[in-house]
Structure 1
């Protein structure tokens, strides 16, 4: 009798376990999907097409919504990454195994609590200089973040020359007379798919946060400035964004050639003339040749997808009026040293270059970035000009719109990173956000398996999830994170989160003055051409400090 009862209980437990791990299904407007049941009650659905593949004769066309499918679609495996160059050997950011790639790559992935209902939606846009990366990278696994009560979505979008080539012939065949912003249009199409379908996964289409790091954060800014994206999201997270000067479609602006002219120049460099021949090229070969020819993928100001320079859109208050969480890392450039010019011979040579290039602002530059430690000065100059200025600009401009805005500063170090000279390096916060401390890329400095690191990860995930949920970042047992506001408040993430005020006083004003003068001049770009390689700065100009 007892044995029979034990067997019955065991069978019952096995059945319950099997049912709990049974492949989940959702019936979305796009079609029925079969996913995978993960631990902690999270369901994953991978490789979901959100747009038809623009390949071959359709290459360089705006995305078209994927047709609904019949039957049950297997969504247990990731779709291929978009075509991209091979990563640099030994790069911190290179994946362990080469990502399978295809021109047919416009898919997204969803992680959702099994019992999700009207849950906030967190849409992750991967970084990679608009050249590489994928929403399927292990470090972006959304399961642990979904366990915070979010529906997490990661997306692929066209990269490099396939995502951002502008060309006169492409503009001619466009109904809007524009070309080049295909990767950005992919992101907008993904957000439209989310609006139509995310309710089937338990997500709220009325509470969508777009988030990204590096080129993903650049994309967040583009989306905030793009009229076609308005209303498709309700909050924004920009991690290590860079509001650099943006090319225009047909005119040279701020010293940057027109995007169409850059497309013609690329065609000349790779000796493939005409749109038909470019479309007939093998996608991987074309991508590799474009990268070798120094093609720089960026969105362009075309008057349609992007009506204005992002910096101007934010100045006019014409960006999306949504709460924002933005910040940057202390060691941004420590893992991006290719952005630095060769070091001068000594401190005296450094000071001479700064004085020759910054005129009446030279002494302010030397006070903030003194040449006693040349490496530190050059790292900080480029970091602040690209990432620090941008983060503070974003929270200032959203605050001016009457929106809640939160600034952070990632200053966390751990032994293997600090020993390698990579304290708080670019993207170093991502494993903490996603709770993927054990699944970083092979060359990533190994994160200690300690309670302190796990606690910091839990705090960061808690703050970000709370922001996605309510627009206010809060984490259990952690300090209150005040909005930027009049006090210019921020949250520093060192060993533990710690709030502060007035991060790097005077930094923003100095960089803003430099950028303002370059903008007023009209022929000077602003990006990593700073410090000892800055173009001579115009003296005080109308409207600039």
Structure 2
């Protein structure tokens, strides 16, 4: 198959505006992507490999290199199964079909990509640090939907970072805490992200960026990690605004475990995987390739997968008093977000691509159980009225996404009322990409990435994009670039996007942006708002 973004034959030979850049560890040079006014530096290491004695430790300093590193190749993914989303299945056909965008995985995955449109090193352009999703189980910075040349062309530097996922990113154990100078363990993925932000602070000026004007952003697990960075005192001052796409809980609390509880749960989980007590030395001695190539002692489950399920569900982040404190994790307390600007929202059909499929059905009992798990009382029966078993299943999926949307809107209102120097903008992505059973999948989870990143291309394997898609991509990426520049998405000829403190949000639909106060289903909006107020015990809210 032809590469989805086959680069021009003269790549690497075009005149460079930035030239050679001195960074932590050595010197790097970039290459030209498909936009001549942008330069990309691929796979720059920001920390040492995480194998051996560095496994289950905070990120260590970069290993220095000699000469000029030609940053023309995507860096390794963090350790994971790179074939976990094969072609022929939904996600493989959407994002992972092109080998050009599927680098190998290893424990040398703490690297990043820099996209810069700067004309000189002293230009001081705003910086957008992108944090990939993947349930903190998989994902990487060079996925094709993150191809950021057109976004960078709008006058911002985009830095896409990687971090450890699965058990390597979150394992907490008493033995690990005992060797830590802070007497903590786990949260390595967050420490990786903080290390990347420190790299940006110390090195981005060489690429024409302004370390005093940094926005973080992510989608799905990347969005949750962005909210976790908002919660960490270690990240304070490293960024100035945040973009939260499909983070599910919005600014409300996110699942966490106290460190002692997590240590004990992880210890028991390891015993279940290995059938015996396992020492830290044993874990560090496992060859990297064995995590993917070999199974757990049960002979059935891939070792990487078994460890992830045993240690990272249902919660991943540890409340340890260091990376996260009791005082720092509440984003809705008065003043918690002073000085930070936020863009937050999600898609209208988050769960069509995450659970089941277009042919799945629900009985009346199954639908009632599903709606109860969301948090509804019997009032849902007057609002989500299915016409048949297939419609019952589909309406239950839409209800979950509707609930998330009202959570974004409501938490934005609360945050706006409790912070003085604070701007927040909410959005609802309701634009369905073309083809591939769009009638069922609609605006599926992650579909907004093509548009915010403006990464759609007329290339083999991608969807057959329409003029409405390209118009939507140009509009959404312009809002995003404006927000990264100033904390305000408005500017140019874009439709006005009011702040979200009074329930107003931007709806992206059929290629256009609309400022609205309700979805096309106001009765669903009210049910979900009322349900969240009850579930979150928000006395006094309407």
Greater Cα radius of gyration, structure 1 or 2: 1
Matched, 1:280 2:285: yes
Query: Which deviates more from structure 2 when the two are superposed, residues 80-89 or residues 207-216?
Result: 80-89
Residues 74, 175 of structure 1: CA spacing in aligned structure 2 closer, same or farther, 3 A cutoff? Answer: same
Matches within 5 A, 1:189-200: 189-200=195-206
Q: Does 1:156 align with 2:170?
A: no
Indicate the residue corresponding to 1:203 in structure 2: 209
Q: CA deviation at 1:362?
A: 1.7
Match in the other structure for 1:481: 497
Confirm or deny that 1:436 pairs with 2:455.
yes
Partner of 1:413: 432
Deviation of 1:390 (Å): 4.2
Q: Report the TM-score when normalising by structure 1.
A: 0.82
Count how many residue pairs are aligned between Structure 1 and Structure 2.
Answer: 492
Of 484, 493, 505, 1:490 maps to: 505
- 2:54 touches 2:60 (CA, 8 Å); kept in 1? no
Query: C-alpha distance in 2, partners of 1:481/1:544?
Result: 24
Unpaired stretches in structure 2, ≥5 consecutive residues: 1-9, 293-301
> What is the aligned partner in structure 1 of residue 336 from structure 2?
318
Q: Does 1:512 align with 2:536?
A: no
Deviations for 1:219-268, whole angstroms, at most 9, x for unmatched residues?
100000011001000110000002364232345xxxxxx32123112211
Question: SS where residue 145 of structure 1 aligns?
Answer: helix
Q: Which moved more, 1:471-480 or 1:453-462?
A: 471-480
Q: CA separation of 1:165/1:447 partners in 2, compared to 1, >3 Å: closer, same or farther?
A: farther
Question: In structure 2, the residue corresponding to 1:312 is in which secondary structure?
Answer: coil
On the 8 A contact 2:74/2:103 being kept in 1, the answer is no
Once the two structures are superposed, the pairs formed by residues 317-466 of structure 1 within 5 Å of their partners are 317-319=335-337, 321-337=339-355, 344-346=362-364, 350-351=367-368, 362-372=377-387, 373-385=391-403, 387-400=404-417, 401-402=419-420, 403-419=422-438, 421-438=440-457, 446-448=463-465, 450-466=466-482
CA contact (8 A) 1:330 1:425 kept: yes
Q: Is the 8 A contact 1:120 1:208 kept in 2?
A: yes
CA distance in 2 between partners of 1:291 and 1:451 (Å)? 41
1:217, 1:237 within 8 Å by CA — same for their partners in 2? yes
Match of 1:46 among 34, 42, 49: 42
Q: In 2, are the aligned partners of 1:324 and 1:398 still within 8 Å (CA)?
A: no
1:57 aligns with 2:72: no
Paired position in structure 2 for 1:299: 317
- Specify whether residues 193 and 344 from structure 1 end up closer, same or farther in structure 2 by C-alpha distance, changes over 3 A only: same
Per-residue deviation at 1:380? 2.5
Structure 1 gaps, min length 5 = 1-14, 252-257, 518-540
Distance in 2 between the 1:338 and 1:42 partners? 40
User: 2:44 aligned with 1:24, yes or no?
Assistant: no
Q: In 2, distance between residues paired with 1:356 and 1:37?
A: 49
* Aligned partner of residue 381 in structure 1, secondary structure: helix
Inter-CA distance 441–50: structure 2 relative to 1 (3 Å threshold): farther
Alpha-carbon separation, structure 2, partners of 1:314 and 1:339: 36
2:289 paired with 1:267? no
Give distance in 1, aligned partners of 2:371 and 2:214.
Answer: 45
Are residues 1:113 and 2:117 paired? yes
Partner of 1:75: 71
Asked whether the 8 Å contact 1:431–1:440 carries over to 2, the reply is no
